[in-house]
Structure 1
Amino acid sequence: MTVPLIGVVADRKPASSGAWVDIPTDGLPHSYLAAIEQAGGAPLLFPSLDVHLDDPGRLLDRVDGLFLSGGRDIDPHLYGRDPHPANDDPLRIRDELEIALAQLARDRGMPIFGACRGMQLLNVAFGGTLEQHLGDRLD
C-alpha cells in the first residue's frame, strides 16, 4: 500500500543556529508533521513562495490530501477588514497560497483538514469572515 502524501504549506519565521542568526526559514512545528505520519500519511512541505501562486494545481497534482496548519493571523484584508492592533504580522503569500490550494482541493474533491488557523483559513477561503480579537467581545 502506498502511503498518501499530504501537502502542507510552510510558514516563514526567523531561526537561529550557530553563526546563522535570524535567518528567514520556511518550516512548521514538527508536531504537525509527526501527527500526519502517525495518521498514516507522509507530509510534503510547500514553501510560501510567489512562484506557487502561478499554478497551485502543480502542487496538488503531487499529493493526495491537504493539511492547513496553525500559525500566525490571516491577513484581515482578505475578508474585508482592517487589521486589529493585536494581530500578528501576516504572511500574505502563505494566506493566498493556502486559499488557492483549499479552493482547488475542494473543486477536485481532495481531502482537506484544517487545524486552528487552518480552520479559520477554510472559512475565509469560502467567503467567511473572522472575529479578530475575542477579547473585544468577551471578558
Structure 2
Amino acid sequence: MTPSPFAGRGVPAVYVDGSALSQYLPDAPFRATWLAWVDGRRLVTNPVGVTELHGIAFARGAQARAVAHAVEQSVEVLRFTDQALQTASHVSTALSSFVALHIGTAVADPDVEVVATYQLDLARVAALYRLAVVSPGWPDRWWENVS
C-alpha cells in the first residue's frame, strides 16, 4: 500500500471506520468488493478507526497484522478537533463513545462526503447527518431494513 495521492484539503474524502478498514484483511468477507470500491479514493479515519483495525487484525494472526500496518500507513488519520468532539458530545447519549467519535470526526471534516462502515449505528447516524453511507458488498441503504 502506498500513501494516498489525494492527501490534503479540498479533495473529497471517504471516512472509514474499523469495520470498513478490516475489509482489507485476508479472509475479510467483502475484501474483493472493498478493494475494487476503494481504488482511487481518498480515505480518512481517526485514531479509533486505526485501533479498531489493529484489534481485529491481532486476532487474525501475523499476516493480518502486517496488512493492518500497511493500511494504517496508506490512510489519512485525522486528529480529534474541537468541532469533532463537540459533535461527538451531541450524539454520545444515543451512541457508544467510539461511534460518537467516528460521527464527530466525519461531520467536522468539510472534505468528508461519504462514510464507509458495516456498523448499524454509525450508518444510521451518518445518514441523519446527510452523509452518503456505503458498505461495499452489502445492499444499498441496508441499515433502513434492520430492526
**TM-score (norm. length: structure 1):** 0.41
* Structure number having the greater strand percentage: 1
Please report the TM-score for the alignment, with normalisation by the length of structure 2.
0.39
Report the structure, 1 or 2, having the larger helix content.
2
Structure 1 or 2, whichever has the larger Rg, is 1
